[in-house]
Structure 1
């Protein structure tokens, strides 16, 4: 797998080696040994999958310690703009984000360490997104940051009128209104 570092420490993009021929393709989507050698040592304990239609924006979600989660995100079908926002107090990149396009076609994955908020926007008619977590979901520790917080400057690559939010995500707060780490 090829690893691309980002401008935020710990946040990396992984690209698997894809073997394609006239029958289709094969690739190894995850190897614990290779992940630990090239990215970091972690143990994933939960796999999640979501299906979304064009315009759905999920996020920006996070879990507070001690239930914070690292995630390895990939798209099986369709295309998303995936956002990882650094919310680690004291981090030199606090409040900064990385945006990357993940798709079933490019097969990229994004590793998001603990201490980040995560969200994505569905850019295709249908998206199936899968992610591994290194900690179990704990409802009492979940939080959210408003998708259009002007201080974040995130371009979601969707027209505002096309964005579809859950009722819960509509009530998320601005980053500066939250008590974090």
Structure 2
């Protein structure tokens, strides 16, 4: 397992070690010792997944303090463009984002620290995206910013977006608590 930094501090691409044989493949998405070595969260409180059609955009989501959380995200089936927006006011990359393809083929994961918004665009029907988070979901602290308000070119004309995600404030208008 390799941990690769991105241009946004504390956002890492995790490259899993893959074992294959005549039965198929086996890959590890988490290793406590490696996460500790990079000072990453090692205690996840919830794990869930979404199944998305092609051209679905989900995001840009986060939880507000004190229920903000780290995320570990990967795609065991299908393919997405995963996007992380740095919302930490004191960060050198505040307002910047990174995007990376996560897929069943490349077996990459992304680690997202507190203070960053997260979203993705599904590139294939029936894509499964798995999220491990360090705090339990709390609807009173659940929040987000509009997916189309921070400069990301999603390269899509007619995305499928929930009413909830369409209703978020623009990034420039959001009162940032991080």
Tell me the TM-score range normalised by the shorter chain. over 0.9
- Give, in whole Å, the separation in 2 of the partners of 1:168 and 1:122: 18
Helix, strand or coil at the partner of 1:89? coil
The alignment's TM-score, normalised by the length of structure 1, stands at 0.93
Return the offset for 1:46.
Answer: 0.6
Question: 1:6-31 CA distances to partner (integer Å, 9 max, x unpaired)?
Answer: 00110000011111133211122222
Matched, 1:166 2:156: no
Return 5+ residue gaps in structure 2 as ranges.
none
Helix, strand or coil at the partner of 2:140? helix
Helix, strand or coil at the partner of 2:20? strand
Partner of 1:156: 154
CA RMSD, 1 decimal: 1.2
Aligned partner (choices 171, 174, 177) of residue 178 of structure 1: 174
Is residue 64–residue 180 contact of structure 1 (8 Å, CA) maintained in 2?
no
Q: How many equivalent pairs are there?
A: 177
Partner of 2:6: 6
- Give, in whole Å, the separation in 1 of the partners of 2:42 and 2:63: 17
- Give, in whole Å, the separation in 2 of the partners of 1:78 and 1:40: 26
4+ residue runs over 4 A deviation: none
Return 5+ residue gaps in structure 1 as ranges.
none
Partner of 1:36: 36
